[in-house]
Amino acid sequence: MRKIVLLFLFVIGLFPITLVAQDHKTESSGVLKNQADLYNEVYASYGAGSILFFIKRHTEYSYLSPGGFMLGYSRHMNKVISVGFVASYTPISYSNPKSTFKHTDNYLQGIANVRFSYLNKPVFRMYSGIGIGITMNYYSETNNGVTTNAQKLLPAGQLTLLGFRVGRSFSGFGEFGVGTNGIIILGVSYKFGQ
């Protein structure tokens, strides 16, 4: 699992460097398209600091989570409002070092969101947003060699206080907020279509 997380972080780190240099041109005129004029967006991101990690904290347990991994799509209705959907996966495990107890949560989330851009330039956008959805927790618990598997339905939500996107069609982005996806979110996105 650790190798997968490191590989994902490496790819996310390289994407903005290699992709921001590749600007999308119109076929007929050779003019660069502004990110504000491209209305479909797909993105992949990594989130750290999900509130799911902090909900069930007990001092006698040792906690471990690589963070959350997200894939999303949004459609820009105009230059200010966009609506979309993000799916994410966040694994969290905790154990008691003084016993054989171990608990593993696998949170799968689907969140519908709305974003509001308050600065929308050709290669830079700043925005805020809110999202609400649902979480399915597939969890397992091991105690004294006996493992129990179950699932639980929970609410999901994300409040983006500050988000920014740098680039034209290919870009890197970052978000600061609070919710089940994370406090800090970093990723790459691609905008296309009109």
Task: Give the tens place of pLDDT for each residue, 43-53.
Answer: 999 999 999 88
pLDDT in tens, 51-67: 988 887 777 788 888 99
Q: Assess whether pLDDT exceeds 90 at residue 174.
A: yes
**Any domain includes 184:** no
pLDDT of residue 127: 97
**186 in a domain, yes or no?**
no
Position 185 in a domain: no
Tell me the residue range of the domain where 84 lies: 2-177
What's the rounded mean pLDDT across residues 105-111?
A: 96
Taking a C-beta distance cutoff of 8 angstroms, is the pair 128, 176 a contact? no
Per-residue pLDDT, averaged over 68-94, amounts to 95
If one counts the domains in the chain, the total is 1
pTM across the whole model: 0.80
Inside any domain, residue 192? no
Query: Does residue 187 form part of some domain?
Result: no
Could you give the C-alpha distances from 183 to 47, 156, 167, in angstroms and in order?
A: 7, 14, 23
